[in-house]
Amino acid sequence: MDDVTPANSPPPPRPDRSELAELRGGPAAGLRLRVTDRPAVLQITRPCPVEEAPGGDEFGITEVYVYRRDWRMKSPPLRYGYDPASP
């Protein structure tokens, strides 16, 4: 029985399933990145500068942008379009 592995052995390594993706439209237009498992939605964030506020550095503000996968595209790279209505 050569195919039996001990119960406490580490799982076999997973093959690299990352793919190149490109963002279309919005503030991150043209950005290229690698994604894994073809997510339907990507959330992009960017910190916003804040002026002095009560509480000092306790607070941070982040802009959030949502990009949705374009399911019509069949050839690489994966493409994600900006969703101006979210969040």
What pLDDT is stored for residue 34 in this prediction?
Answer: 95
pTM for the model: 0.72
CB 36 within 8 A of CB 14: no
pLDDT tens-digit map of 20-59: 999 999 999 999 999 999 999 999 999 988 777 666 666 7
CA separation, residue 42 to residues 6, 30, 45 (Å):
38, 14, 10
Q: Which residue has the higher pLDDT, 53 or 86?
A: 86
Which amino acid, 69? Answer: R
pLDDT at 16 over 90: no
Q: What pLDDT is attached to residue 56?
A: 63
More reliable by pLDDT, 5 or 43: 43
